[in-house]
């Protein structure tokens, strides 16, 4: 399939036609957002990080009739339990964690909705003793590199907090 540009005015709403068209694909890489301090205010950050992500994934998950892989670029220290006491970037950690948690719940309702959360801020396959490494190992084994292992693009990313069917690495 060739690239098709879709101009969409409101990321919080997906009509039936657009949602069906998007759900026909096999995967989506989501990288919208940043840190809470990057946005103009906390409400806009909430919309960009959580509301828009869940609006898209709910629309797609409800209509996908095959495995749909959703890759969410989160961040180091995201806190799905929203209990982190770290004073720096607390809002970022909590909201990205809430988004991760809600994406996992979406998979529980729609098993064909498969998720990967990429925490690009420092997870390692070997583990360095941080809490994120322990969570990753307990959820699905160990974080593992994304890529073919030959220096190809994506080699530096680590998959963390995977749910759904295991992805083959061939």
Residue (of 123, 110, 105, 98) closest to 36 by Cα position: 98
Q: How far apart are CA 103 and CA 115, in angstroms?
A: 7
Give the pLDDT band (50/70/90) at residue 170: very low
Q: What is the pLDDT of residues 24-63, one digit of tens each?
A: 999 998 887 778 888 788 899 899 999 999 999 999 999 9
Please give the model's pTM, rounded to 2 decimal places.
Answer: 0.70
Residues 6+ apart with CB under 8 A from 161: 80, 100, 104, 116, 117, 119, 135, 136, 139, 140
**Which tens digit of pLDDT belongs to each residue from 53-91?**
999 999 999 999 999 999 988 887 788 888 877 766 788
Q: How many CB atoms sit inside 10 A of residue 158's CB?
A: 21
Q: Which fold has domain 16-122?
A: Rossmann fold (3.40.50)
**The residue count for the chain:** 170
Q: What percent of the chain has pLDDT over 90?
A: 29
- Report the phi/psi class of residue 85: left, alpha or beta, with left for phi > 0 and alpha for psi in -120 to 50: alpha
Q: Report how far residue 167's alpha carbon sits from residue 114's, in angstroms, rounded to the nearest whole number.
A: 9
- Domain segments of the chain as ranges: 16-122
d(CA 110, CA 46): 24
Between CA 77 and CA 54 the distance in angstroms is: 20
pLDDT interval class at 19 (50, 70, 90): very high
What are φ and ψ of residue 116, in 5° steps?
A: -130, 135
Q: Supply the DSSP string of 48-111, one letter for each residue.
A: IIIIHHHHHHHHHHHH-SS-EEEEEE--TT--TTS----STTHHHHHHHHHHHHHHHHHHHH-T
């Amino acid at each position: 399939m060739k690239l098709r540009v879709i101009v969409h005015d409101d990321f919080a709403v997906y009509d039936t036609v657009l949602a069906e068209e998007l759900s026909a694909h096999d995967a989506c890489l989501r990288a919208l957002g940043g840190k809470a301090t990057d946005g103009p205010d906390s409400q806009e950050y909430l919309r960009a990080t959580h509301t828009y992500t869940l609006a898209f994934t709910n629309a797609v998950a409800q209509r996908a009739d095959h495995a749909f892989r959703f890759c969410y670029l989160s961040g180091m220290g995201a806190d799905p339990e929203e209990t982190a006491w770290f004073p720096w970037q607390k809002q970022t950690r909590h909201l990205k964690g809430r988004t991760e948690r809600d994406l996992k719940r979406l998979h529980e309702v729609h098993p064909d909705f498969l998720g990967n959360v990429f925490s690009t801020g420092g997870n390692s396959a070997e583990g360095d003793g941080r809490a994120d490494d322990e969570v990753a190992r307990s959820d699905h084994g160990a974080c593992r590199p994304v890529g073919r292992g030959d220096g190809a693009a994506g080699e530096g990313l680590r998959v963390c907090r995977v749910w759904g069917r295991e992805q083959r690495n061939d």
